Amino acid sequence: MKIVSYNVNGIRAALKKGFIDWLKATNPDVLCLQEIKAHKEQLDLSVFEEAGYSYNYWFSAQKKGYSGVAVLAKKEPNKVVYGTGIETMDFEGRNLRLDFDGISVMSLYLPSGTSDARLAFKLNYMDEFLNYINELKQKHPNLVICGDYNICHQPIDIHDPVRLKNVSGFLPVEREWLTKFIASGFVDSFRLFNHEPNQYSWWSYRGRARERNKGWRLDYNMVSKPLESKITRAAILSDAVHSDHCPVLVEINV
């Protein structure tokens, strides 16, 4: 199964930049999207169906033009779960899970901490999410959580770890949480294969950051430990330019 995760920073904007051609060329079995910034009724779903994704599911924020996640699949899932059932989390449309035979795939969009209030919301969300996942793994041990975590884990994952150490996305408390999350039973699939520096998935639109590769690795395909031996490939697809993020890929023998 080829799984790709992509924060598109607005699906309608991405569609105007050749997203469907990219989708057909990349041809994932499952595509997890974050920050769709749209409601289902605002989209022409036929473009996804014509690309081979008859099974497309959308979980939007209550606030229009904000947040939201989606999952596109070639094969019909056994079950679709919108949100987590936790009221403080679900109103911003940040979790959507599809269960298939032998594997469950979730699209996750963790909040950013751009202000004191949003950082407090993010930290609470992270704690509630980890508790939720620890329970979920009991029923669904073969779990892939794809998405924009809005956290760089290690100094290798950010272009200037010294100067940015007090910026949300690389705060010690955020990094410690991601360490705890991985230790709870997950594998950072990209780092399973690639230990080189300067590998990023997000760049600011300011200061020619992408051109200069002044980036952050915020996007992950976290794979639960029971599936670790079945991971065959993981990569950052940095050639895709529909967003300030780029997609990340993992391939798993299911």
Known catalytic residues? 148
Q: Is 32:5 a contact under the CB 8 Å cutoff?
A: yes
User: What is the four-CA torsion angle of 19, 46, 73, 34, rounded to 10 degrees?
Assistant: 50
Task: Classify burial at 30, counting beta carbons within 10 Å of its beta carbon; exposed 0-12, middle 13-18, buried 19 or more.
Answer: buried
